[in-house]
């Protein structure tokens, strides 16, 4: 199914690229995870009804809407680019019209990912190369603090994984790389998902 058709089903518009208004060294531009990549990912990663999903740097919300619609679980999206957030709000209002049946929570916050107070039950965290390693370290630190308060199985899903993230997680945190999902063979190093897990 084409990318446009998926957007049409969810009644949203998520295509395109959006740069930050000013040069940003730590924050990356908007671009959505391809739908076909999400299809591949969720053949491998099983979502439970009790999972609570957070997209750090959710952009126009493609992954958040897709997960909410497909799995009927609570989803939170965080976005800090104001112009992108406005487009996200438009999508949210349109998505609500086609998702009346879905009673799981869906929430978007206009804030920096590193300022998000991780909910003690959030347990599946999604990153599509949103920011620099220094911001990623702060976010993972916040996730680990919430783990200390409520020990639970936690997954980090990284699309387009970068070496610095991997090195940090493996060398300086208890997360273990549990699987990889190759999306295409055009760019063997990046066109894939890395899934890390922290168990009880
Ligand atoms: C590559 S896009 C991914 C969008 C979405 N997660 C997806 O996969 O379709 C990364 C997004 O992260 C946002 N972002 C970058 N730094 C951020 C930060 N510190 N806090 C919140 N959002 C941020 C960007 O504005 C952009 O929309």
Model confidence pLDDT, tens digit, residues 81-110: 999 999 999 999 999 999 988 899 999 999
Sign of CA dihedral 110, 114, 117, 121: positive
Check residue 181 and give its pLDDT. Answer: 97
pLDDT category of residue 22 using cuts at 50, 70 and 90: confident
Check residue 146 and give its pLDDT. Answer: 98
d(CA 63, CA 45): 14
Higher pLDDT, 164 or 100: 164
Report the topology of domain 51-198.
Rossmann fold (3.40.50)
- CA of residue 77 to ligand 1 center, whole Å: 10
Nearest atom in ligand 1 to 160's CA: 1
Check residue 23 and give its pLDDT. Answer: 81
**Beta-sheet strands, E only, within 6-132:** 17-18, 30-31, 52-56, 74-79, 106-110, 124-128
Check residue 1 and give its pLDDT. Answer: 72
Check residue 65 and give its pLDDT. Answer: 98
d(CA 171, CA 152): 21
**For residue 49, what are its two tokens?**
């009804």
d(CA 73, CA 70): 8
Look at the pTM and tell me if it is higher than 0.95.
yes
pLDDT category of residue 24 using cuts at 50, 70 and 90: confident
Q: Determine the residue of 3, 30, 83, 91 to mutate for testing ligand 1's pocket, defined as the one with the most ligand atoms within 8 A of the Cβ atom.
A: 30
Check residue 2 and give its pLDDT. Answer: 79
Higher pLDDT, 56 or 22: 56
Average pLDDT taken over every residue of the chain: 96
b/e per residue, 66-103, with b = 16+ CB within 10 A? bbbbebebbbbbbbbbeebbebbeebbeebeeebeebe
Check residue 68 and give its pLDDT. Answer: 98
- CA of residue 28 to ligand 1 center, whole Å: 7
What tens digit of pLDDT does each residue of 129-143 get? 999 999 999 999 999
Q: Does any ligand 1 atom lie closer than 6 A to the CB of residue 7?
A: no
Is the per-residue pLDDT at 197 higher than 90? Answer: yes
Q: Determine the residue of 20, 29, 59 to mutate for testing ligand 1's pocket, defined as the one with the most ligand atoms within 8 A of the Cβ atom.
A: 59
């Amino acid at each position: 199914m084409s990318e446009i058709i998926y957007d049409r089903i969810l009644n949203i518009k998520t295509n395109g690229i959006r740069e930050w208004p000013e040069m940003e060294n730590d924050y990356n531009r908007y671009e959505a995870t391809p739908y076909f990549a999400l299809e591949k990912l969720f053949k491998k990663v099983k979502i439970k009804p009790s999972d609570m999903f957070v997209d750090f740097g959710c952009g126009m919300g493609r992954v958040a809407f897709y997960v909410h619609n497909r799995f009927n679980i609570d989803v939170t999206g965080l976005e800090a680019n104001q112009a992108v957030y406005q487009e996200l709000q438009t999508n949210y209002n349109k998505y609500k019209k086609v998702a009346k049946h879905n009673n799981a929570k869906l929430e978007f916050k206009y804030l920096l990912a590193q300022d998000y107070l991780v909910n003690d039950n959030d347990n599946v965290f999604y990153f599509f190369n949103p920011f620099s390693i220094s911001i990623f370290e702060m976010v993972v630190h916040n996730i680990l603090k919430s783990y200390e308060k409520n020990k639970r199985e936690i997954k980090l899903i990284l699309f387009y994984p970068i070496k610095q993230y991997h090195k940090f997680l493996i060398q300086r945190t208890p997360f273990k790389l549990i699987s990889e999902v190759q999306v295409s063979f055009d760019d063997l190093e990046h066109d894939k998902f890395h899934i890390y897990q922290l168990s009880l």
